[in-house]
Structure 1
Amino acid sequence: MNITVNGEAKSIATMNVHDFLHSIDIDPRRVAVELNMDILPKAEYQATVLKDGDALEIVHFVGGG
């Protein structure tokens, strides 16, 4: 299936958001995810299965001062 991640097309197997983040070496605790222009609560990452045509925006938290 095909999805878009931060504007880039990707072909992936069917999986939930949590597993997808792990598959691209991203710690789900350290990012915010927007799915099809809606913020996805972290509590829903495991229950939300990605579908063909979905668009994800993944934002990393960066500390600093």
Structure 2
Amino acid sequence: MIVNGKEMDFQEGITVEQLLNELNLPKEKVVVEVNLNIIDVSTYSSTALNKGDRVEIVRFVGGG
């Protein structure tokens, strides 16, 4: 699967929530897009990913 433009190897069927845990990213501070579709945070634990998926993860960063 492609995550933020880089090919990564994760098990087939991993959920968005599991992927975020593997990457040490808090689900409350990111937006996840899978194959050009934004995934609602309430479905992270039930949205399964496939090897051919393209995933973009955008993190919110505070600053001034």
* TM-score, length basis structure 1: 0.90
Corresponding position of 1:52: 51
Contact 2:31 2:57 in 1 (8 A): yes
Contact 2:16 2:45 in 1 (8 A): yes
Corresponding position of 1:35: 34
Corresponding position of 2:6: 8
* TM-score, length basis structure 2: 0.92
Identity of aligned residues (%): 37
1-structure distance, mates of 2:49, 2:37: 14
Shift of 1:13: 1.0
Structure richer in strand, relative to its length: 1
Corresponding position of 1:25: 24
Deviating 4+ runs (over 3 angstroms): none
- Computed over aligned residues only, the root mean square deviation of the Cα atoms, in angstroms, reads 0.8
Deviations 1:8-35 (A, max 9, x none): 0011113100011001111111100011
1-structure distance, mates of 2:39, 2:10: 19
Residue ranges of structure 1 left out of the alignment (5+ in a row): none
